[in-house]
Structure 1
């Protein structure tokens, strides 16, 4: 397992078989071992789910690499944006919000497709996708989170990333749609 982390684009034979959308056919594992479609042009994954073959099959043209793993293989003819941060509450992910959203928007506007991945497709990539939807589709971070969680139920941005997304939303909207309670790993949404 640890050796496989050094080569995130290698095909792993023990993975469930993929269907045409790049999602796995085994529903019990499909949200963890898959590339999940948020929009027809926007996908989220963990780096172990990504292979050159899947990138080509899905016609991915742009990749936001937030895995922070050195020596990752690159797929030819794909544009990359590296977001070099660790999944740590003290990391400043906010400084990447605008650049990552613009990069994904560029993929969409050029008729391409963007994939955002981190080590497990849970925290860093989820935060970037949430903020993209907030910036480009004017969604609240609550609604963006709920929408992404529908296709990838394992998402769980760390508390530091949540605080930064909340601060960003307050700066842009004057209020936040999410409140964090002490000791909680996920926000609680009130209607």
Structure 2
């Protein structure tokens, strides 16, 4: 059994390295996708100096099995989540929305949301926040995030859950401000 774990762990490390390389060459390690909300990858979450320089105060971990790296420096919300279309990510939407909303009440706070690559889980969490705040569709939320983070691409199961979240809650439709020119 140890051998299967070693192969699995080795593949995981190789995948993480490829992910980091792709994101680094495309300048996608850390992006402000909404004023004071950043999306990024696991490696960036371990770069305390960069997080501090960026002014990050709050971190959402959308990843199973990862403990906060710097609990004395940042306020954390850990969400146990896997990037699988059958995983129920929507169970975390209200908790993450409340965490973001509470953090942003202080104009000096900034929130960093990450998973492994900053492509699916973390983007979906921020989409849920934009959907609740503006009553926009998942497609609109993803498109807005993609203006700043080109690699944003939630899996189809998460997109469906975001659609259900909008439909089931009947959020008030507000005009999404043009916080970043497209």
- Common topology (TM > 0.5): yes
Unmatched 5+ residue regions in structure 1? 9-13, 16-22, 175-191
1:97 to 70, 93, 98: 93
1:19-30 correspondence to structure 2 within 5 Å = 28-30=25-27
**Structure ranking higher in helix proportion:** 2
CA distance in 1, matches of 2:12, 2:83: 19
Unmatched 5+ residue regions in structure 2? 1-8, 172-182
1:138-177 correspondence to structure 2 within 5 Å = 138-173=135-170
The answer to whether the 8 Å contact 2:77/2:96 transfers is yes
Cα deviation, residue 163, structure 1: 1.4
- In the alignment, does 2:69 pair up with 1:73? yes
Query: Which one scores higher on RCO, CA 8 angstroms, separation ≥ 6?
Result: 2
Partner of 1:151: helix, strand, or coil? coil
2:30 to 30, 35, 39: 35
Q: How many residues align?
A: 156
CA distance in 2, matches of 1:81, 1:41: 16
C-alpha RMSD of matched pairs (Å): 2.7
CA distance in 2, matches of 1:127, 1:62: 17
1:127-161: CA deviations, max 9, x gaps?
00111111123332221110101111111111111
The answer to whether the 8 Å contact 1:101/1:136 transfers is no
1:66-121: CA deviations, max 9, x gaps?
12243552252311001101111121111100110110111110221101000000
Match of residue 183 from structure 1: none
Cα separation, partners in 2 of 1:30 and 1:88, compared to 1, 3 Å: same
The answer to whether the 8 Å contact 2:135/2:170 transfers is no
CA distance in 2, matches of 1:59, 1:3: 33
Q: Which deviates more from structure 2 when the two are superposed, residues 158-167 or residues 93-102? A: 158-167
CA distance in 2, matches of 1:3, 1:92: 25
The answer to whether the 8 Å contact 2:135/2:166 transfers is no
TM-score normalised by the chain length of structure 2: 0.75
